Amino acid sequence: MLRQKLAACAAALLLCATAAPAWSAETTKVAITYIVDHPAIDAARMGIVDALAEGGYTEGETLDITVQSAQGNMPTQLQIAKAFAGLKPDLLIAISTPSAQALQSAAGDIPVVFAAVTDPVEAKLVASLESPGGTITGTSDKQPFGPTLELIRSLVPDATTIGVIYNAGEANSVSQVAALKLEIEALGLKLEESTASQTAMVADAAVSLAGRADAILIPTDSTVVAAVESVVNVGEKAKIPVFASDTTSVERGALAALGFDYYKLGRLTGEMAIRILQGESPGAIPVGTLDTQDLYLNRTSAAAMGVTLPDALLETAKKVVD
């Protein structure tokens, strides 16, 4: 009960802060929200702001920005979306699928740009990737699992079962796991699923995979990524190698990741935002994505999880964390 009261108070404070931003009448107004704080989302947000500045929309000069995190709480995210829509900004920006769905529902005729949404069609945000339609478009962080599975097999050759942790209430995570299962089964492997509807539940979800999985793969699920350290802790104790789908998680302890640069994804999102602010229709701008994956490796975590990183692999990595 106390936790619920504290959450309600936190949401009320967020909305009070949102209700009266110090906006100038002469500047462009943009509101940004995201479901939870973690480094990948932070990198995307930085990329968006930097791209806007390079396009002539500089915060504090020609641009006013208000930013709110939902702190992992969906009811709070819905309240933020409604409050933002009430501010009538020139553009709404969402980072993550739940945030994009909340803004789309509340925005009315205010244009929306999203970032880091894995499957915008499955999430019912756009009609198609090529022609989004309506007043929304953005960028996707969907990437193939094949190269990551080959990486896992090369580093953990005896693995027969891959564990995955995800939020079953998140449409894109469900879509990712369905695709992952098909690819894993095509390789003759088995998938063990463990779910967490809140960040606080991720540690228990990881513990439940001990003894059932030979390696753990974390998808681009904000609920889980926000608590990646708790998964790493289980991996080190149980000697289960932990792989991620975003490179920032490697800097937080995951053994390896093949993934997009979220700062670059944010910059691409920001460039799309500029086009909309300059008059283009969001629905006519195709959903954007990056076409290259970076390999990040963590030498310390590999040793703690019982994995040897070959020199040849280390030489191909964009970054090696010691």
pLDDT average, residue stretch 83-89? 97
pLDDT value of residue 171: 86
pTM reported for the whole predicted model: 0.85
Does residue 223 have a pLDDT over 50? yes
Distance, CA of 125 to CA of 170 (rounded, Å): 13
Q: Are 277 and 269 in contact (CB under 8 A)?
A: no
pLDDT value of residue 155: 98
pLDDT tens digits, one per residue of 136-175: 999 999 988 999 999 999 999 999 999 999 999 988 899 9
Distance, CA of 106 to CA of 89 (rounded, Å): 13
Sign of CA dihedral 255, 258, 264, 270: negative
- In the CATH hierarchy, which fold is given to the domain comprising 2-141+262-284? Rossmann fold (3.40.50)
Q: 């462009």: which residue's tokens?
A: 28
Does residue 22 have a pLDDT over 70? no
pLDDT value of residue 21: 65
Does residue 17 have a pLDDT over 60? no
HEC profile of the chain: CHHHHHHHHHHHHHHHHHHCCCCCCCCEEEEEEECCCCHHHHHHHHHHHHHHHHCCCCECCCEEEEEEECCCCHHHHHHHHHHHHHHCCCEEEEECHHHHHHHHHHCCCCCEEEECCCCCCCCCCCCCCCCCCCCEEEECCCCCCHHHHHHHHHHCCCCCEEEEEECCCCHHHHHHHHHHHHHHHHCCCEEEEEECCCHHHHHHHHHCCCCCCCEEEECCCHHHHCCHHHHHHHHHHHCCCEEECCHHHCCCCCCEEEECCHHHHHHHHHHHHHHHHCCCCHHHCCCECCCCCEEEEEHHHHHHCCCCCCHHHHHHCCEEEC
Band (3; pLDDT cuts 50, 70, 90): very low
pLDDT value of residue 15: 52
Q: 């299962």: which residue's tokens?
A: 181
Q: What pairing do the DSSP bridges indicate for beta strands 91-95 and 28-34?
A: parallel
Band (23; pLDDT cuts 50, 70, 90): low
pLDDT tens digits, one per residue of 68-84: 999 999 999 999 999 99
CA R_g for the chain: 20
Angle at 54 between CA 220 and CA 87, to 5 degrees: 70
pLDDT tens digits, one per residue of 114-131: 999 999 999 999 999 999
pLDDT average, residue stretch 212-238? 97
Whether the domain at 2-141+262-284 and the domain at 146-259+294-321 fall into the same CATH topology: yes
Share of the chain above pLDDT 70, in %: 92
Does residue 6 have a pLDDT over 60? no
Does residue 12 have a pLDDT over 80? no
Angle between helix 2-19 and helix 74-87 axes, rounded to 10 deg:
20
- In the CATH hierarchy, which fold is given to the domain comprising 146-259+294-321? Rossmann fold (3.40.50)
Residue boundaries of the structural domains of the chain: 2-141+262-284, 146-259+294-321
174, 126, 166: which is closest to 288 by C-alpha? 126
